[in-house]
Amino acid sequence: MAHLLLPSWCPGCGWAGVRICPECAAHLSHWFRAEADAPALPPALPVWAAAAYAGPAARVVMAWKSGHRPDLARPIHRLGRLLGRRLDEALDPGPVLLVPAPSGWRRRWAGNEVVAPLAEAIGAGLAETGRSAGVGRVLRRRGGRAHHLSQRQRRAERAAAISLRRGTRPRAGEAGIVVVDDVLTTGATLAASAQAAAPLGPVLGAIVLAATPRPVQEG
């Protein structure tokens, strides 16, 4: 009866009666240093990801980001806790401040922010390892035209649009900074967020749910 009233299906493959099927969930359970074609990223900024942004994983992430599938929040947040535990293994000892990349005004207005809740889940996973971890919603973003711009214009727009919130006091290196975002494409958002958060402490890297895979050249 519940499935008749509130039907669900796996957005990765269409399997009815489940939020995410086991096979599509497996696509979101990897752990790797992202090797995306992201020209805006500084070479020294490591980025960790749980999935390649392609195929079933991309369809699941898009369904989650769209806000049309609120039932995906629970499994995505379970994945976030897993990412937090794996992130603990990748970092040197010490406290961590997770800084979510800021959402555009349209997403905030619609009440469909996804990055900050993902950061909270990753922070919970870090805390499960015994590491001191917190989440700081310290960045703001103005504008929102970047999806219609070239890569160079997008880098410039994001660098100008993302900054520390007013009243945020720089810290004296109390914790290492890890920037959190949902998807890595060009790297413009992560690069701008890392630069804006740098006054709060050393930027250790970034973590995303999925990263656009590097194109494979044949021949």
Query: Domain span at residue 103?
Result: 31-211
Average pLDDT over residues 51-77: 91
The Cα-based distances of 100 to 9, 149, 177, 182 in angstroms read 29, 23, 10, 9
Determine what percent of the chain is predicted with pLDDT higher than 70: 79
Average pLDDT over residues 92-100: 95
- Structural domain contains residue 216: no
Positive or negative, the Cα torsion across 168, 170, 176, 177? Answer: positive
Task: Give the CATH number, domain containing residue 80.
Answer: 3.40.50
Give the count of alpha carbons within 13 A of 116, CB side only.
13
| Domain count along the chain | 1
- Structural domain contains residue 176: yes
Phi, psi of 31, rounded to the nearest 5 degrees = -150, 115
pLDDT of residue 97: 95
pLDDT of residue 218: 43
Q: Give me the chain's average pLDDT, please.
A: 84
